[in-house]
Amino acid sequence: MAETLRLPVEIVDKYSGQLRAFQEALKQVKQPDSVNHINHSFDRMTSGARKAKEVIGEGLRSAMMGFGIGALSISGGIAAIAASSLSLGSSVASLKRLSDVCFGV
């Protein structure tokens, strides 16, 4: 026959209170103003890049029409501008994601 062994057990939790206090302290940490400034700067840079793309596209379109170049050349020029603008936009987006990762936004 097997014997049954019973032991009384007492659990002492020394860390829950400290962890709760630490969590509350972390909740009090706020995003620094510099992060908002960086995000605002990236937004302004993105807006400026879009405006520059539009102005350059319109200027090229007008210049090509002035030279009498056909619609095919205009389309090629605009496509080149769009590709470079897309590349710039991608770079700006990558920098913004890097900012978000670095500053935890």
What residues make up the domain containing 84? 32-103
Residue 81 lies in a domain: yes
pLDDT of residue 104: 62
Task: Using alpha carbons only, give the angle 42, 47, 31 rounded to the nearest 5 degrees.
Answer: 25
Residue 44 lies in a domain: yes
Number of domain units in the chain: 1
Q: Give residue-wise pLDDT tens across range 24-81.
A: 998 888 777 787 788 888 888 888 888 887 887 777 777 766 666 555 566 676 777 7
Residue 76 lies in a domain: yes
Residue 17 lies in a domain: no
pLDDT of residue 1: 64
- The whole-model pTM stands at 0.38
Other C-beta atoms lying within 10 Å of the C-beta of residue 27: 8
